[in-house]
Copies of this chain bind each other. A is one copy, B any other.
Amino acid sequence: MQGFDAAKINEIIRKASEGSRFYQHKQQAQQKLDAKIKEMLHTAQQMSPQLLEKATKKMEAVALECEAGRDLSRTIVHVDMDMFYAAVEMRDQPNLKDVPMAVGGNSMLSTSNYIARKFGVRAGMPGFIARQLCPALVLVPPNFSKYKAVSRVVEQVFAIYDPNYAMMSLDEAYLDITDYMEANADAYQAKSEVDNETLAEAIVREMRLKIQEATQLTASAGIAANTRLAKVCSDLNKPNGQYYLPSDTRAIMDFINKLPIRKISGIGNVTEQQLKALGITLCGQIRPNYGLLRLLFSDCSLDYFVRISLGLGETDLSNYTSGEQKSISTETTFTGTSCKQKLMQMVSDLSIELHGDMKKKGLVGKLVTLKTKTVNFVLKTRSMALGEPTSDPEVMGKVARKLLIAEMEKCPVDEPLSLRLLGVRMSNLSEEASSGRAKQTTISKMFEKQTVSAGRESSSNYCLVTESVAREVQAFHD
């Protein structure tokens, strides 16, 4: 059992994907992006030096203002559990430790362990391709409630160092350890002198140890003046390592200047390609291109680029903590079908599931959105605002089904809507006015109504549908 080189890995992936509808759709998207980039370059060609210079000046003015607000007073830590889900499973099933394994299903992996990664098996890869890369791969289905429990334990450690830590997902958090450092400087004096470390480094090393003691899992960490830098740093000595970037403008600029833009959180595949077309691959190449960027990107992106180019980032974690949830959704992927009853029934089921999630969080919403993905991977959303915020599965379901019917009606009879994904989302959320009684009534009513009846389609399309859905489908056919 040994790894492959990158070429071999790519070859296998290519063969596995090539010609699939997924791949075709991806290619189309890439073509569209290529066209957009071409147009962008064309626009860039037209720019007069005067215009560019003017734009550069304006950007420099913004940069000056941003620079003035630089805050180096905080010590921010980004902690990231190493291959979290996989690590938990390996901890609980030691026989998984020496074999290539991944957590996920046949359609998608969440994480893989380091042995599997040698074969090119990574998070975000579909299981069936992973198996081609590594036939010995052990696939463990995810066990979210367990991960959640472990995460809670890790949180307890975080709370020691910063009671206002900001959890970004089950395996990732930001901490502001500035206050802790001040309060406990003396206690670490000796420790950090011995290891020739800064106070921050000593504290974070200790924190990671405590996490390991509490969970038997390792974490990596980045220490810097703001979240953006800390996040980049946590990636540098993975796994089970940490990286400290001194809070000093000079050090930060040296660091950021040679950093590939793609390392920055928020710069994804598309932005990377766009910037690359402009000759920008490193953060240090942003500033020399201020004028060009100003003329090509939106104000919002510009601000973002300027801040990246200066190594600036968030220093106030309350900006992550405070926000209310904006939307809640549930979706499901299935083998492509155009059976109207099946699709309608799925929407109803999703609405009921969504109701459960909303209930748990005490949320109600005003905007119902139906999400569809065709068998060709074309995503669409259709939404409709409600008069009143609700989480009533009947109401949400009715609206979502109406939206689905409208989509079906748009398709010609000879090529009916054929989907592989359906989702229902609620947004414009507010807190539920906790009159638990009334809600309960509604729910029971709903279940009373949901007696099963047979669809009246041909046998090949046969499926179980609830009465109300059957009625709507009926109406649609008439």
A478 on interface, CB distance cutoff 8 Å: no
Instruction: Tell me the bound Cα distance from A35 to B61 in angstroms.
Output: 40
Instruction: Tell me the bound Cα distance from A69 to B61 in angstroms.
Output: 10
Contacting B at CB under 8 A, from A29-86, are 61, 65, 68-69
CB distance from A298 to the nearest CB of B (A): 14
Size class of the contact patch on chain A? under 10
CB distance from A56 to the nearest CB of B (A): 15
Instruction: Tell me the bound Cα distance from A68 to B69 in angstroms.
Output: 17
Return the 4 tightest CB-CB contacts between A and B, nearest first: A65-B65, A61-B65, A61-B68, A61-B69
Instruction: Tell me the bound Cα distance from A65 to B69 in angstroms.
Output: 13
Q: What 0/1 pattern do residues 348 to 383 of A give for CB contact below 8 A with B?
A: 000000000000000000000000000000000000
CB distance from A302 to the nearest CB of B (A): 15
Dominant SS at the A interface? helix
Name A68's closest neighbour in chain B (CB-CB): B61
Q: Residues of B contacting A65 with CB < 8 Å?
A: 61, 65
Name A61's closest neighbour in chain B (CB-CB): B65
Q: Residues of B contacting A69 with CB < 8 Å?
A: 61
Q: What 0/1 pattern do residues 182 to 198 of A give for CB contact below 8 A with B?
A: 00000000000000000
This chain's copy number in the assembly? 2
CB distance from A217 to the nearest CB of B (A): 40
Instruction: Tell me the bound Cα distance from A69 to B65 in angstroms.
Output: 13
Q: Residues of B contacting A68 with CB < 8 Å?
A: 61
A-B contact pairs, 4 of them (CB 8 A): A61-B65, A61-B68, A61-B69, A65-B65
CB distance from A198 to the nearest CB of B (A): 31
Instruction: Tell me the bound Cα distance from A68 to B64 in angstroms.
Output: 12
CB distance from A70 to the nearest CB of B (A): 13
Q: What 0/1 pattern do residues 83 to 96 of A give for CB contact below 8 A with B?
A: 00000000000000
Name A58's closest neighbour in chain B (CB-CB): B69
Instruction: Tell me the bound Cα distance from A61 to B67 in angstroms.
Output: 12
Instruction: Tell me the bound Cα distance from A65 to B66 in angstroms.
Output: 11
Name A69's closest neighbour in chain B (CB-CB): B61
Name A65's closest neighbour in chain B (CB-CB): B65
Instruction: Tell me the bound Cα distance from A61 to B69 in angstroms.
Output: 10
Q: Residues of B contacting A61 with CB < 8 Å?
A: 65, 68-69
CB distance from A111 to the nearest CB of B (A): 41
Instruction: Tell me the bound Cα distance from A69 to B68 in angstroms.
Output: 17
Q: What 0/1 pattern do residues 287 to 329 of A give for CB contact below 8 A with B?
A: 0000000000000000000000000000000000000000000
CB distance from A315 to the nearest CB of B (A): 14
CB distance from A153 to the nearest CB of B (A): 35
CB distance from A64 to the nearest CB of B (A): 8
CB distance from A316 to the nearest CB of B (A): 11
CB distance from A65 to the nearest CB of B (A): 6
CB distance from A303 to the nearest CB of B (A): 12
Name A57's closest neighbour in chain B (CB-CB): B69
CB distance from A69 to the nearest CB of B (A): 8
Q: What 0/1 pattern do residues 113 to 140 of A give for CB contact below 8 A with B?
A: 0000000000000000000000000000
Instruction: Tell me the bound Cα distance from A160 to B61 in angstroms.
Output: 37
Contacting B at CB under 8 A, from A443-469, are none
Instruction: Tell me the bound Cα distance from A68 to B58 in angstroms.
Output: 12
Contacting B at CB under 8 A, from A155-195, are none
Instruction: Tell me the bound Cα distance from A68 to B60 in angstroms.
Output: 13
Instruction: Tell me the bound Cα distance from A65 to B65 in angstroms.
Output: 8
Instruction: Tell me the bound Cα distance from A61 to B68 in angstroms.
Output: 10
CB distance from A259 to the nearest CB of B (A): 28
CB distance from A296 to the nearest CB of B (A): 21
Instruction: Tell me the bound Cα distance from A69 to B57 in angstroms.
Output: 11
Instruction: Tell me the bound Cα distance from A68 to B62 in angstroms.
Output: 12
Instruction: Tell me the bound Cα distance from A198 to B422 in angstroms.
Output: 75
Name A62's closest neighbour in chain B (CB-CB): B65
CB distance from A47 to the nearest CB of B (A): 17
Instruction: Tell me the bound Cα distance from A325 to B61 in angstroms.
Output: 32
Instruction: Tell me the bound Cα distance from A7 to B409 in angstroms.
Output: 66
CB distance from A222 to the nearest CB of B (A): 28
CB distance from A68 to the nearest CB of B (A): 8
CB distance from A114 to the nearest CB of B (A): 46
Instruction: Tell me the bound Cα distance from A68 to B68 in angstroms.
Output: 14
Instruction: Tell me the bound Cα distance from A61 to B65 in angstroms.
Output: 8
Instruction: Tell me the bound Cα distance from A402 to B112 in angstroms.
Output: 60
